[in-house]
Amino acid sequence: MGSASQEDVYAYPDSKAPSLVLTHPTEDEKRRTWTLNHKEWGGALTLEEYLKREPYLTTIPLTRDGGMTHWILTDSSWSAEKGGSRPILASCESINKRVLVAAPSDTAIRDGVGHGVGSVFTYPEHRGNRYAGRMLNELGVALRKWQCEKQVSQDAVCSALWSDIGKKYYAQKGWAAFPSLHVEFPVSANQMQGSEEKGKGKGKVTPITYENLGQLCEVDEKLLREQMLRKAKETNRTCVAFAPDHDTMRWHLYRDDFIASILFKSSPGPTNVSSSIKGALAGTQEGRRVWAVWSRNYYGGSGKPTDNVEKNTLYILRLVIESEASEGENPSEDVVESFTAVMRIALREAATWNLGKVDLWNPSPLVKALIERSALQHRPVERDAESIPSMMWYGAEDIHNIEWVANEKYCWC
């Protein structure tokens, strides 16, 4: 027995060292990482609550049964005799998602795998040593084949992440930045008053709940598939979209319910804490309906939903205009009314849940026209630092020629 000699003491390696490997963390290592990154991503949750949420997020639709993978960069030359614990030089997660692809000459959509990457993190004491960079280089390569055994081509279609550190860093690693505009609708007294007085579309708006969500997702995907085939031909570019499917929507909604059930536990608020309204649908004639599915986001402060209300946001995860193909950029009056009615319900829900604004990501030209015609108060926001959709493409095309269709909040992870 005795203390380790000088040459036995573990020295942190260079980021280019061949001994660095991308692998998966143990349960203890995951917990250590979550404990450290709670400050970044805990939002309104305490550390204890966050340490419950992260494992929970591996048990819900989309991520359960291995749908989510945790990754770390570590050093294979480390051994327990050198003391301490295995070094975690950088970490992240990936989620296996269904993607749809249409090339200009295609007559049918190709289904494939696209990985969403999240929680890229380096322990504070290791930052600036290029460990995250090394992990991302390894990850970009690894994800091409990851969980693709059932694919005919054996390759994933793409991987995507939402950068919170601007457009440059990930672009240099191969994840090109895509449009990051959103339209913000403030929850002002004025907008709320309008919802009562104007009441356009009143009586024909129905709530979206867990009961009818699945069917609507099926309709949405069918329409999206048709839209992509058309768009690929029109633009002469390969189109890709994350499938706006039931599992993807439920991943967001279960996550939202988990957080709200904690925040509203001891705070006065609506009686049904896990809001049964997950969106709204306007219009009765199939083919002309408009709907939106949404989730809530709380920034916290002292752990109350009433903290930071002006920052708290109701995100439109997905907006569907059933008649998109025939509307052009000059929508008909019934669609304008339906859109306005849906957005007014979103604003009312936002007010109910202490959310100061409603955000809608990357509206299409048609949706921009609907917003203008709705006369709802709004402002466009070009994000240049946070949640920048960024994609690595594994196909033969240049990523800059890829059209990301339905680049909306539901894709985010």
Residues that bind ligand COA (CB under 6 A): 40, 90, 120-122, 127-133, 163-166, 169
State how far Cα 268 lies from the chain centre.
Answer: 29
Query: In angstroms, what is the minimal distance from the CB of 401 to ligand COA?
Result: 25
Question: Measured from the CB atom, is 170 or 291 closer to ligand COA?
Answer: 170
Using DSSP bridges, classify how beta strands 238-242 and 402-404 pair: parallel, antiparallel or unpaired: parallel
Tokens matching residue 212: 């009818």
Query: In angstroms, what is the minimal distance from the CB of 360 to ligand COA?
Result: 22
Query: In angstroms, what is the minimal distance from the CB of 362 to ligand COA?
Result: 18
Question: Measured from the CB atom, is 69 or 119 closer to ligand COA?
Answer: 119
Strands (E) across 147-194 are located at 158-163, 176-177, 181-186
Question: Measured from the CB atom, is 66 or 124 closer to ligand COA?
Answer: 124
Hey, CA dihedral for 201, 203, 209, 212, is it positive or negative?
Answer: negative
- Cα separation, 245 vs 57, in Å, equals 17
Question: Measured from the CB atom, is 95 or 228 closer to ligand COA?
Answer: 95
Question: Measured from the CB atom, is 12 or 169 closer to ligand COA?
Answer: 169
371 contact partners, CB below 8 Å, separation of at least 6: 183, 339, 360, 363, 378
Q: Are 321 and 337 in contact (CB under 8 A)?
A: no
Tokens matching residue 166: 């601007």
Strands (E) across 301-396 are located at 313-321, 357-361, 379-382, 388-393
Query: In angstroms, what is the minimal distance from the CB of 170 to ligand COA?
Result: 7
Query: In angstroms, what is the minimal distance from the CB of 17 to ligand COA?
Result: 14
Q: Are 325 and 230 in contact (CB under 8 A)?
A: yes
Residue nearest to ligand COA (CB): 133
Query: In angstroms, what is the minimal distance from the CB of 407 to ligand COA?
Result: 17
Question: Measured from the CB atom, is 170 or 294 closer to ligand COA?
Answer: 170
Q: How many CB atoms lie within 10 A of CB 310?
A: 11
